[in-house]
Structure 1
Amino acid sequence: MKQPALPAEGGCRCGGVRFRVTKAPLMTMACHCTGCQKMTASAYSASVAIPADGFEVIKGEPVIGGMKQADLPHFFCPDCMSWMFTRPKALDFMANVRATLFDDTSWYAPFVETCVSEKLDWAETGAPHGFSQFPTMENMTRLIDAYADWAAAR
């Protein structure tokens, strides 16, 4: 798997909100939780963890949507309502960006699957790591290191 060419950009479906990424991903993921299934209207959400200081909104003003939880704010385009990114308070060092919103997605492949206990039977991602729920913080640190090696070897 190659890494994205940086800076990388992307945006919502209507183009009203755009973002730029200037740092390499920490990890790529697919989440099978029923919340992600409902917010994406799909089997899972595909995302890319980006260092917080390597992610910026460059056009538009996203709004908080989804469950509107203070500790897990989900940001959407106010016009087309595309779910764009999440900034988990517990993981304040990163922004979790929806992978399919990048202008170029040819580099993306999920490294980790989360909430596989909730996955639809037919949903497969090919991710080399899977967790029945969300990984612990200790596992996240190990996964970030393992992702760097995995991405470099591809």
Structure 2
Amino acid sequence: MSEWNLPWEAGCRCGQVRMKISAPPVVTMACHCVGCQKMTASAFSLSILLPKDGFEVTKGKPVVGGMHGYPVHYFCPHCMSWIFTGLRETSPFINLRATMLDDATWFEPFIESCVGEKLPWVNLPVAHSYAQFPTMEDYEVLAREFAEKGKRPA
């Protein structure tokens, strides 16, 4: 499979928060949980699981929004775009909202989570579906498979 052609640039809708991605994604996802449905005003959220050390906010200062608890949801303080989700403090990963990428045309979810909460009309072309969230052991296997088979930018 081709290389990832990094770094990537990303930003919120108004451009006041900008980011740089310098590490390849671990996996791409769609989440159908009711929380994501409400936060996106849509049927699901799309995200890219990234290593924290390959993600940098280069402009602006995101603010905490959503439920103000775990997980921590970060937004642009001006346009209020939901930009990324910080996982547990000890986690080496963050979830970037895929559509924050300057070029998200390549994005395709590899897995979907919380399908037990999905809206009945939603059917996504994913490699793996989970009733809730994958286990840590599942993520290890998924990351290896995604590294081999996951969709890449053209």
- Quick one: distance in 2 between partners of 1:115 and 1:4? 28
User: Percent identity among equivalent residues?
Assistant: 50
- Quick one: distance in 2 between partners of 1:8 and 1:152? 15
Deviation, structure 1 residue 90 = 6.7
Other-structure match for 2:88: 89
Change (3 A) 1:4 1:91: farther
Deviations 1:73-111 (A, max 9, x none): 000000110000011107611110000110001221000
**Paired residue type of 2:45:** S
Other-structure match for 1:43: 43
Query: 1:28 aligns to what SS in structure 2?
Result: strand
**What are structure 2's unaligned runs of at least 5 residues?**
none
Other-structure match for 1:19: 19
> Any conservation in 2 of the 1:4–1:107 contact (CA below 8 Å)?
no
Deviation, structure 1 residue 65 = 0.4
Query: 1:67 aligns to what SS in structure 2?
Result: coil
> Any conservation in 1 of the 2:49–2:93 contact (CA below 8 Å)?
yes
- Quick one: distance in 2 between partners of 1:91 and 1:31? 22
Query: 1:145 aligns to what SS in structure 2?
Result: helix
Other-structure match for 1:6: 6
Other-structure match for 1:127: 126
Count of residue correspondences: 153
Deviation, structure 1 residue 3 = 6.2
**Paired residue type of 1:109:** E
Query: 2:140 aligns to what SS in structure 1?
Result: helix
Query: 2:67 aligns to what SS in structure 1?
Result: strand
Change (3 A) 1:60 1:90: closer
> Any conservation in 2 of the 1:76–1:82 contact (CA below 8 Å)?
yes
- Quick one: distance in 2 between partners of 1:32 and 1:150? 23
Query: 2:139 aligns to what SS in structure 1?
Result: helix
Q: Structure 1 segments of 4 or more deviating over 2 A?
A: 1-5, 151-154
**Paired residue type of 1:9:** E
Deviations 1:4-45 (A, max 9, x none): 531101111111101100011100000000000000000000
> Any conservation in 2 of the 1:2–1:107 contact (CA below 8 Å)?
no
- Quick one: distance in 2 between partners of 1:21 and 1:51? 9
> Any conservation in 1 of the 2:62–2:76 contact (CA below 8 Å)?
yes
**What are structure 1's unaligned runs of at least 5 residues?**
none
Other-structure match for 2:146: 147
